[in-house]
């Protein structure tokens, strides 16, 4: 592809900005310098200031989302998760998005990608990808909620279908682990509030086989992952 198209595809600059960007940076393809937007190049073999293109075959990363950040591309919503990621990721084409969302006050594991098929595979209820949350509640969690959530008949207000069976483990009177295979709007908070135990704090600790405690990430940090490892 053309050099300006490659720079735009991977978020370094727009095609309009490419001539100026090329002048300010050292670019080589298979060891030969590149100096024109029309130069023919490939992602494999190109070096931008001595560095290869990041994630040339698709971007897949795990982010430890801190509380207080929204999963939005709109800077008008305050702190957004994309502020925690490399600048050029926001300008890649296809666009980089989170795989599902965590609400602003929920922390924990979030996947980031530019692969639409991967997003569908990870979020569709038909694929039964388990997401595990740890919640601290404001009131004691009733023991009968374990059977209720597992029944597959539990209805949330405003929904026309019951929640899929979910596994609730009560770890302490006001602390629990909840495993879901779907992602209704604010589902964990709504489920626990419905049984009289509103959530005080919430963290997603795993998605599929990927566990936050094995990633050694601090809040706000990210790391690349292999999509076939989930």
Alpha helices in 25-139 (DSSP H): 116-123
d(CA 100, CA 122): 8
d(CA 72, CA 76): 9
CB 59 within 8 A of CB 96: yes
d(CA 77, CA 89): 19
- 75 noted as active-site residue: no
Token pair of 204 as six digits: 């997603």
Choose, from 103, 114, 213, 228, the residue flagged as catalytic.
Answer: 103
State the first-to-last Cα distance of the chain, in angstroms, to the nearest integer: 32
Token pair of 63 as six digits: 């982010």
CB burial readout 132-164, b (16+ within 10 A) else e: bbbbebeeebeeebbebbeeeebebeeeeeebe
d(CA 224, CA 211): 14
Residues annotated as part of the active site: 103
């Amino acid at each position: 592809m053309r050099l300006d198209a490659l720079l735009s595809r991977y978020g370094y600059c727009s095609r309009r900005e490419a001539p100026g960007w090329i002048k300010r940076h050292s670019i080589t393809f298979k060891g030969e310098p590149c100096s024109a937007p029309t130069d023919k190049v490939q992602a494999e073999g190109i070096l931008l200031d001595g560095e290869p293109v990041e994630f040339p075959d698709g971007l897949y990363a795990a982010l430890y989302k801190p509380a207080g950040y929204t999963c939005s591309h709109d800077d008008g919503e305050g702190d957004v998760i994309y502020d925690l990621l490399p600048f050029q990721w926001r300008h890649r084409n296809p666009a980089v998005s989170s795989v599902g969302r965590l609400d602003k006050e929920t922390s924990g594991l979030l996947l980031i990608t530019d692969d639409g098929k991967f997003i569908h595979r990870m979020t569709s209820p038909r694929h039964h990808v388990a997401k595990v949350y740890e919640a601290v509640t404001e009131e004691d969690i009733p023991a009968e909620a374990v059977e209720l959530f597992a029944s597959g008949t539990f209805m949330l207000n405003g929904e026309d279908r019951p929640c899929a069976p979910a596994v609730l483990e009560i770890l302490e009177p006001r602390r629990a682990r909840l495993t879901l295979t779907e992602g209704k709007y604010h589902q964990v908070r709504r489920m626990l509030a419905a049984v009289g135990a509103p959530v005080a704090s919430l963290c997603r600790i795993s998605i599929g086989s990927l566990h936050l405690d094995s990633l050694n990430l601090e809040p706000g940090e990210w790391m690349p992952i292999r999509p076939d490892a989930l």
